[in-house]
A and B are shown apart, each in its own frame.
Chain A
Amino acid sequence: MRRANLIAKNNLSRCIATIVLYAITAIIIFPIFWMLMTSFKPSAEWVTYPPTWIPQNWTLNNYSSVIFGGNTSQGMFESSMGPYLNTFLISVIATVIGVSIGLLAAFGLSRFRDNKVSSMISFMMPRMFPPIAMIIPMMIFFQFLHLIDTYFGLMIVYVGFTLPYSIFMIKGFMDGLPIELSEAAELDGMSNFKMLFKVWIPNIKNGLMTTTLFLFVLNCQEYIFATTLAGRQIETVTISIAKMFSNQAGTFYGPQAALGMMAAIPTIIFGIIIHKSLAYGFTFGALKR
């Protein structure tokens, strides 16, 4: 009978834990849910009070204004497809370069078992410094090099500021490789370079994919450099959203939400794809697998 009580207590605590967990998750998802719903709301429902949680009259107008440009009852929109593609282009290239450079540097650290803080601090600096602190000097520097408002300039910046994540996530995955792998390759007479491509990379494919997608997500989200070092000729989605927001004093809820959803969906999908491996990636090698 004592056993039955124990089982009951166990089940009760499991129940409570499940409820609490689902409640917390619901709260966390709520903002996304709200944005999603708003993106389908007609302008009549944007500022009603109390606000409607689920649109009474679903509409796709918000999306069409954002994708094709157009006229809603209060103003004209430019098509956001240009910026969308820009963001995609810049992010993809910057990500590929970022992962490649990060890969090499991570190998330099991991293969040679360099875990000194001094070696790692310099690679962390791009992320340590508030971008705003770097903006003014960079504007001067870029002005000098004629890199303002260029794809190349922006890409370099993107590469630089995702480099710390790239290096340390990949290093973490590399540190998790069993030492026998390298020892066997050494015995086969492989040079380090060959070892990197023939042994190490194939074995961290999952980790590389995770790092790549995460870097892509980070690059898509970037705003401050895009808007200060580019922004006139080259507009990214983040700039579009900010512009739309400030141009209309933040009152075009529908289209804003629609553009927000469009910006968010790809990154959400990538996040879901890599979520398991991301957990390990964010320990940056601190855990022995």
Chain B
Amino acid sequence: MPEIVLENVVKKYGTTKAIDNVSVTISEGEFCVIVGPSGSGKTTLLNLISGFVMPDSGQIMIGRENVEKIPPRNRDIGMVFQDIGLFSHMTVRQNLEYGLKLRKTDKSVIQKQVNEIADKLKINQLLDKKPNMISGGEAQRVAIGRTLILDPPICLFDEPLGNLDANLRVEILEEIKYLHKSMGKTFVFVTHDQEQALSAGTKIIVMKDGKIMQTGHPLEIYHNPQNRFVAEFFGISSMNLIAGRVVDLGGSVGFESEGMKVKLKDDLKQYVGRRVFLAVRPLNIYLEDQMHDVSGFGTVNLIEKLGDKNLVYLKVGGDQKIVASTPPQHKYSLQDKIRIGFDADKLHIYDQEQGERLI
């Protein structure tokens, strides 16, 4: 079973580097999610693997074979596209059969395979319909079936949920996850949606401007973002970034910002005086809480009730604003002065100039 390796791959369009010296290894059987904002190069990366895009320099290997000169149809790869791409002039059955027909498979074998895949993806009732008569979700399932029927060891997904209704997205993603588990193939999945990335992959590659920002297991990325971009990108609702300075709190090193003082765990003596950001997720801020040290005070500006939680927007210090996530039963009123505490384990410090993570 092949693994995918990219080494020092560069791809330019004009003078812009769509892929800037990227090296990546995707092991066999992984569910790798490539995630990033538009223009980050994630689709280009996928197309380098599929062969629709040729690299300007660098190596691309599938199963330890250099594939740069091999066209897509010879790479033994499956691909599912964002706008689905079912052959609109053929029925669903003919779509499913196409790949096998190209390989001159026996008619009876084709029949059997088509029925099997239809069972697997629950599309039996659609077999004789044309693509314009089925829904988006059904069409995408057919597209997945069309690809998997050929049993490729690697399957690529280019934002397959992008054109689907919100409720369908979860459903289809679950099906893709299930297929991955049951078939043991290598899946490479491109998306711009952080939640999809976190819930599906065994490995996440975060991209921005053609570069890889971080690679790792979802939890690792979520809990230990290595730079500001990754931290912000995976924020839920918002990531709090408070501007301030590293200070000596007499006894320990801390973060200070206009009246707020937060004790920091690590030894940052060397950074005292540096201007930094304190990054903390809303759910790691505690309001009026006995369990946590009080770092400062904030005034309630706005409360957003989200059902399962409340988002409390507070003004702290000069003009800075932070968002805290609280259980719905906690009640505050506007203009209340609230005590704020931070979970020292769950905050990060980033250098203001370099963006480098210090804690």
Which residues of chain B in 69-122 are interfacial with respect to chain A, using CB atoms and an 8 Å cutoff? Answer: 69-71, 74
B152 CB to closest chain A CB, in angstroms?
16
| Main DSSP-derived SS at the A contact region | helix
What residues on A are CB-neighbors of B65 within 8 Å? 3
Say yes or no for A6: interface residue by CB 8 A criterion.
Answer: yes
Nearest residue, chain B, Cβ from A3: B70
Known A-B contacts: A6-B70, A7-B69. Give 6 more (CB < 8 A).
A3-B65, A3-B70, A3-B74, A6-B74, A7-B70, A10-B71
* Alpha-carbon distance A7/B73, docked complex (angstroms): 11
Q: Mark B40-76, 1 if CB is under 8 A from A, else 0.
A: 0000000000000000000000000100011100100
Q: Given the complex of chains A and B, what is the CA–CA distance between A7 and B66 in angstroms?
A: 13
Interface residues on B, range: under 10
**B contact residues vs A (CB 8 Å cutoff):** 65, 69-71, 74
Q: Roughly how many angstroms separate A7 CA and B65 CA in the complex, as a whole number?
A: 14
Instruction: Give the number of chain A interface residues (Cβ < 8 Å).
Output: 4
Contact residues in A for B70 (Cβ distance below 8 Å): 3, 6-7
Minimum distance in angstroms from A9 CB to a CB of chain B: 10
- Nearest-neighbour CB distance to chain B for A8, whole angstroms, equals 11
Least CB distance, A3 to chain B, in whole angstroms: 6
Q: B70: nearest residue on chain A (CB-CB)? A: A3
In the complex formed, the residue of A with least CB distance to B69 is: A7
Residue of A nearest to B75 (CB): A3
Instruction: State how many angstroms separate the Cβ of A114 from the closest Cβ of chain B.
Output: 24
Q: What are the residues of chain B within 8 A of A7 when measuring CB–CB?
A: 69-70
Q: Would you list which residues of chain A between 1 and 50 have a CB under 8 Å from chain B?
A: 3, 6-7, 10
Q: A249: shortest Cβ distance to chain B, in Å?
A: 56
A39 smallest CB distance to B (angstroms): 41
5 contacts between A and B (CB under 8 A): A3-B65, A3-B70, A6-B70, A7-B69, A10-B71
Residue interface bits A227-242, CB-to-B below 8 A is 1, else 0: 0000000000000000
A7 to B68, CA, bound (A): 11
Chain B residues with Cβ below 8 Å from A6 are 70, 74
Instruction: Considering the complex, give the chain B residue whose CB is closest to the CB of A2.
Output: B74
- A150 to chain B minimum Cβ distance, whole angstroms, is 53
Q: Which residues of A contact B69 (CB under 8 A)?
A: 7
**Which chain B residues border A10 with CB–CB below 8 Å?**
71
Which residue of chain B has its CB nearest to the CB of A10?
A: B71
Question: Which residue of the partner chain B has the closest CB to A6?
Answer: B74
